[in-house]
Structure 1
């Protein structure tokens, strides 16, 4: 009984269109349409219009409630991971101690076998003219403890290197986080307590740290129509995924630069470790940022001081115009063909 063609359709020289769609090649890619993109003013977590928007240091926008709830859930997972890492560290310590003990025992046993301490005694010849009783007395063998200790130490170091290599491979399988510097292939094996676990923003190509203190306020400007898209507050240009938007962040308001001398003396008395709150979070277009904000170094809406590091590109979906790869989704796999 022959099998059906549907189960062996990859063995034929000519395939139909439907059969070619079933045969996915390695790295098959599909281009996404505009309906698959998130709007510019939508949250990356709930995908709805942002409510009390905040942003990470890379310009990814969230609802404040969604972001804080995600940070809380990540912290709960980190605490559970820390307790698990403590158990791993204790297990690794016991494995290293056991490996050192076995290496020392093996070295001592090999040394004793090599010196024939565990075997039968050899018969010594008696020269002519010597007393038989004097010649039959055996000289005591003294074990060189320093030599044994030296060889045992080398064996322990070798066993520890092998054990560290095995533990490093097993640790990378347990903590599958390639962005942690302690888990890179060239990183040396250190204590698990040195592995820094922190809350991350997983939007974008590479996860990056995020915390409640580093959240940036976002101020979106809308026209009188409540259902319309956000606009640039300076040129009233509509902001969308097809345009480049810039988020302005600053800790220095307008009155801080033009304050009196008394205010300056008061600020010197304040503690330096206390950072001021962010006072700007306006979103403007790329053109206004390059022509107005960059030359003056101030926000075009609230006149807050904005440095070069305070102009952050706002995250968007798609490619904008001529970029490649941002509007595609890929699936990695293996195509079997007989």
Structure 2
């Protein structure tokens, strides 16, 4: 490979590493980076607090939350929706009052027009002549021809921003789908039996195992939650054992396809493990 200086950017040899380095230092271009294991939460951590769950619950889309955190989120969203609804109703009532005032003003204008037309022709001609002789630019329709920009009523007004009607459904912070409290599934993790009673469960690297096969669970192992019992099992166990009889091995309840919820997991540091593992930041681009 041809050798060149460290800061050579116009030569025929300009490596990918140098291009990424120059883009990150200059601030131009789009910077991409693949997230590793240290940048993504563990599979048993809450999607809101990013800490191991004390009372884990699962959404129908497979996102894990701590029960306390998701309840606080739902209550906060309901309060915000109620505030937005009050603002929307207040704005709607104000618009209706303004429409009533405009209708009344229009009726009064029509009445005045009818009164003028019902007068004698000579009186109407005299009134028009008086308006024509007037030097005021606010008489009759001359205000449209010669507006006075220093009069507040003639200046353009910037009204308050319009409030749109909010969606009354609480959305999941991860998937964006409607979230109801009764749809949350209580998750029961099976603790690992490693005979280590001195080390706290949170500080252990391997904390939980499959409820059926006793395989250690982690970010690199696809898992699923069985809705009737809330037990966590591996997807391999689901495909090879559970789907043959479609029975919950913990309590023997009949299973349906929607009762097997795949757990959304984080990254393991390797390719094809987890989802949304790439961070992207768009920057300004210099055009040639």
Q: Scaled by the length of structure 2, what TM-score is found?
A: 0.64
Residue 277 of structure 2 corresponds to which residue in structure 1? Answer: 327
Give SS of 1:208's match.
coil
Give the C-alpha shift of residue 63 in structure 1: 1.4
Residue 219 of structure 2 corresponds to which residue in structure 1? Answer: 241
- Alignment counterpart, residue 231 of structure 1, candidates 209, 213, 223: 209
Within 5 A, what are the aligned runs for 1:99-118? none
Note if contact 1:247-1:312 (Cα within 8 Å) is conserved in structure 2: yes
Give SS of 1:69's match.
helix
Write the distance in 1 (CA, Å) between the matches of 2:47 and 2:285.
33
Write the distance in 2 (CA, Å) between the matches of 1:305 and 1:215.
19
Note if contact 2:223-2:235 (Cα within 8 Å) is conserved in structure 1: yes
Distance 1:291 1:102, change over 3 A: farther
Give the C-alpha shift of residue 91 in structure 1: 3.2
Write the distance in 2 (CA, Å) between the matches of 1:290 and 1:104.
76
Within 5 A, what are the aligned runs for 1:193-204? 195-204=166-175
Give the C-alpha shift of residue 43 in structure 1: 1.1
Give SS of 2:251's match.
coil
> How many pairs are equivalent?
225
Write the distance in 2 (CA, Å) between the matches of 1:223 and 1:57.
26
Bigger CA drift: 62-71 or 323-332? 323-332
Structure 2 residue runs without a partner (length 5+) = 1-8, 122-160, 195-200
* 1:301 matched to 2:250: yes
Note if contact 1:23-1:335 (Cα within 8 Å) is conserved in structure 2: no
Within 5 A, what are the aligned runs for 1:1-338? 19-25=22-28, 27-94=30-97, 174-175=163-164, 192=165, 195-204=166-175, 207-225=176-194, 226=201, 227=204, 228-250=206-228, 280-318=229-267, 321-322=271-272, 326-336=276-286
Distance 1:316 1:103, change over 3 A: farther
Write the distance in 2 (CA, Å) between the matches of 1:328 and 1:103.
61
Cα deviation digits, residues 180-238 of structure 1 (max 9, x gap): xxxxxxxxxxxx4xx5322221114xx12223222111011121234223211212222
Note if contact 2:226-2:259 (Cα within 8 Å) is conserved in structure 1: yes
Computed over aligned residues only, the root mean square deviation of the Cα atoms, in angstroms, reads 3.7
Q: Scaled by the length of structure 1, what TM-score is found?
A: 0.56
Cα deviation digits, residues 82-109 of structure 1 (max 9, x gap): 2212222223434555677788999x79
Give the C-alpha shift of residue 312 in structure 1: 0.9
Write the distance in 2 (CA, Å) between the matches of 1:286 and 1:104.
73
Give SS of 2:33's match.
strand
Write the distance in 1 (CA, Å) between the matches of 2:237 and 2:247.
12
Cα deviation digits, residues 281-312 of structure 1 (max 9, x gap): 11111111122222212112221222111111
Give SS of 1:293's match.
helix
